Amino acid sequence: MNEKQTGLMLVGVGGGGVGIAAAAAAAFGAGMQAVGFDTDAMTSRQLPGGLMRCLLIGVPRCDGRATGGDMVKGRTAAQDDVEAIKNALAGTRTAVVVATLGGGVGGGATPEILRALRELGAHTLCFAALPFELEGPERRAAAMRALPLIEENADALVVVPLDDLFADAGGYALADAIPRAEAMLAAGLTLFWRLVLTPGFIPLDVETIHALLRQSGGRCRFAVASAEGAGRGVEAVSRLSRSALLGKGTGFAGAQAVALGVLAGADLCLAELSEISKRVQAALPGGCRFHLGTMLDERFAGHVHLVALAFDAWRDAAATAPDVKSGDETTMETLMPLAGDSRPGRGRGGAGRSKLSFGATGRGRFKGVEATLLNGEDLDIPAYLRRGLTLDR
């Protein structure tokens, strides 16, 4: 199955987001469907030819320049060009959206792009990077203001503090900080893409990710770890559990569902895989759902790479409408065995975005924000709500 058939799309927003998406596309090689959006023409010019498309948005207001950290400009740029954005995203069923917050486009345009994806019927997993501490409190504050609007419009949100990515990457010179952090996240995305698109011995395919996103109720965490040589499986699990991206010292605590991808060479033996799975499951809280996927490829010979998505909220399968559009009736209840029997987290986040709760969302996260009125319409309320449409999700 190729990427077009799976409808899997990588979307970069703003300078940093496009940079990370481009690094992932370059690492993946030919065939990754990726598109970027920015008001700054330089972002597109800096991309190596043929790697990915980058659409210039908000030209009348921004004249091909950055917004200078102005999130209102970034948001309006996306609103003005929503039709072009939707055209560029047509056919997407599952989108991984990457944005670095603190700037105007990543912070302002990302909620609009997520909303456009939702209107197209796509499921979304958003990676939002928080600025380095050293960038100062204003950037951090701008990022924190953007976060609720992004969370409101994404199926699942992974918040990635750039400082934590850097911590995982080890100590590097200051000049290397952004490229290193970028490479870390891009490598994780590339592994995730390979895992989802390549049929494995135990698949973790796009349908499974779809089902996970449908039942995940918001925040999730993402971590990657690798090891090689003797004891590589055990070492990779230990590195994964220690990853700063899972939370400092918390490991998988609080997770309601975990999807683990194991990428290795054909030299991986069943006993090693079983040991990895056993150790990760032992590190999960009671009742946490667990789904394992594998992908074997000669280029990984001698290595084990682990990719984990830990969902911190979970909606009851009964509360989630099946994806009627795609005819996909699968839910994680049928897809995966449960790691425990008590399932204490069952239904947590159940007031999430089911068909019914859409109508009740109202201004949602915008409720504390001054309304953006245009011709008597509140633009902070998604168009499908304003127009009384129902979305099947």
Q: Using CB under 6 A as the criterion, which residues of the chain lie in contact with ligand GTP when the complex forms?
A: 14-16, 19-20, 38-40, 66-69, 100, 102-106, 131-132, 135, 139, 162, 178, 181-182
Specify the residue, 103 or 218, whose C-beta has the smaller distance to ligand GTP. Answer: 103
* Residues 247-286 within binding reach of Mg ion (CB under 5 A): none
In the complex, minimum distance from the CB of residue 185 to ligand GTP, in angstroms, rounded to a whole number: 7
Per DSSP, helices labelled H in 70-176 are 71-80, 82-89, 104-119, 137-153, 162-169
Which of Mg ion, ligand GTP, none has residue 233 at its interface (CB below 5 to 8 Å by kind)? none
Dihedral in degrees, nearest 10, Cα atoms 4, 7, 8, 11: 100
Per-residue mark of binding to Mg ion, 47-76 (x: CB under 5 A): -------------------x----------
CA gap 351, 360 in Å, rounded: 10
CA gap 293, 259 in Å, rounded: 8
Specify the residue, 80 or 297, whose C-beta has the smaller distance to ligand GTP. Answer: 80
**CA 251 vs CA 240, 244, 247: distances in Å:** 8, 8, 6
Which of ligand GTP, Mg ion, none has residue 11 at its interface (CB below 5 to 8 Å by kind)? none
Among all residues, whose Cβ is closest to ligand GTP? 103
In the complex, minimum distance from the CB of residue 74 to Mg ion, in angstroms, rounded to a whole number: 9
Take residue 242 and report the two structure tokens written for it: 């220690």
Count other Cβ atoms within 10 Å, centred on residue 344: 12
Specify the residue, 106 or 111, whose C-beta has the smaller distance to ligand GTP. Answer: 106
**DSSP secondary-structure letter at 328?**
B
Which of Mg ion, ligand GTP, none has residue 69 at its interface (CB below 5 to 8 Å by kind)? ligand GTP
Nearest to 16 by CA among 117, 128, 163, 174: 128
15 belongs to the binding site for Mg ion (CB under 5 A)? yes
In the complex, minimum distance from the CB of residue 214 to ligand GTP, in angstroms, rounded to a whole number: 29
Q: Is 176 helix (H, G, I), strand (E, B) or coil?
A: helix
18 belongs to the binding site for Mg ion (CB under 5 A)? no
Specify the residue, 112 or 182, whose C-beta has the smaller distance to ligand GTP. Answer: 182
Q: Is 280 helix (H, G, I), strand (E, B) or coil?
A: helix
